[in-house]
Structure 1
């Protein structure tokens, strides 16, 4: 029993140290970050993601800066025959660009790198179905990410322990713009 407890304590300490090493965008500006973003690529060790990654489509996030450094985010996730929508508030913790999203099980969200006008690299540490996982998303203002954006994403996700086989570039979809919406 003591060895199991010690193992959990060491694992939690390792996670805390690993997360502490993920820095946020210096001088993050929530107002500049606001607007429409396409989620064009993702990498994750989440078992649910890995089981579905070959069937996922490009999603969108519409971000709005709100009081206290928080963000209001409207997400649309296309599926084969419908569009799921989710609204969530990203609650600022610590420095600008660092959030948590209790409604989605996101324990730690960090805007790692952005030029505000074309791309952002977003780090997410989350809990889903009782399991903890790491995810990195590449946001783009257009459906075609720039070479600079792709390089920033590809340079970052291995630093948090995600190998190339856990990455996917998401295909475009017009499901959300053409078919209407359904609640999640």
Structure 2
């Protein structure tokens, strides 16, 4: 009986330790990170994601840094009836490049690696429909991703326990692009 009660506690401690090992981009600069990004590839163990990954298309994020170090993020997702839009505040947690997004259930968002001008690898630990999951997203400034970006993404997602069969490269779409527009 004691082992039955102890197992969930040990699992939570393991998750906390695993998250603590995910480092953020050194000297992260939110102002350089601001602007339009395309989500070109994703990896996740989320059951909802895995059930829909073959039907997903490239989405966008328009990011604006705030004076407090938070990020205002405008997301656009292509759907059958146009673009689904969501606005969220990524609230800074401790170090630069580390955020939480309570309105979306994101418990932990970290910009793991970026060169600011072409790509970013973003780690997300979230709760969806009562289940905890890990997601890694590859952002690109254009719909065509560089080999350097793909390498950074492929080098990172296995380190958080995501295998290749949980990865999708998202097809391009013109239905949710804000080309040339600045963040609101």
1:66 aligned residue: 66
Whole-Å separation in 2 of the counterparts to 1:177 and 1:25 = 27
Q: Deviations over 1:79-119 (max 9, x none)?
A: 13321000000000010000000000000000000000000
Q: Distance in 1 between matches of 2:47 and 2:78?
A: 20
Matched residue count: 178
Structure 2: how far apart are the matches of 1:43 and 1:30? 24
Over residues 36-59 of structure 1, what are the superposed CA-to-partner deviations in whole Å (9 max), with x where a residue is unaligned?
000000000000000000000000
Residue pair 2:60, 2:177 contacting (<8 A) in 1 also: no
Q: Does 1:156 align with 2:156?
A: yes
Distance 1:50 1:109 in 2: 20
CA contact (8 A) 1:80 1:175 kept: no
How does the TM-score come out when normalised to structure 2? 0.94
- The whole-number CA distance in structure 2 between the counterparts of 1:6 and 1:82 is 48
How far does residue 173 in structure 1 lie from its aligned partner after superposition?
1.1
Structure 1 residue runs of 5 or longer lacking an equivalent are: 179-184
- The answer on whether the counterparts of 2:106 and 2:124 sit within 8 Å (CA) in structure 1 is yes
Confirm whether residue 126 of structure 1 aligns to residue 135 of structure 2.
no
- Quick check: 1:101 aligned with 2:101? yes
| Equivalence for 2:113 | 113
Counterpart Cα distance in 2 of 1:65 and 1:21: 25
CA shift for structure 1 position 5: 2.2
Q: Which runs of 5+ in 2 are unaligned?
A: 179-184
CA distance in 2, matches of 1:33, 1:107: 20
> RMSD in angstroms over aligned alpha carbons?
1.1
C-alpha distance 177-50 of structure 1, shift in aligned 2 (>3 A): same
SS of alignment partner, residue 126 of structure 2: strand
2-11 or 30-39: which moved more?
2-11
Q: What is the rounded CA distance, in whole Å, between the counterparts of 1:75 and 1:130 in structure 2? A: 23
- Answering whether residue 19 of structure 2 is matched by residue 51 of structure 1, we say no
Once residues 119 and 176 of structure 1 are traced to their aligned partners in structure 2, the CA distance between those partners, rounded to angstroms, is 19
Under a length normalisation based on structure 1, what TM-score does the superposition of the two structures give? 0.94
- Alpha carbons 2:23, 2:112 under 8 Å: kept: yes
Task: Measure the CA separation in 2 of the matches of 1:170 and 1:5.
Answer: 41
What is the aligned partner in structure 2 of residue 75 from structure 1?
75
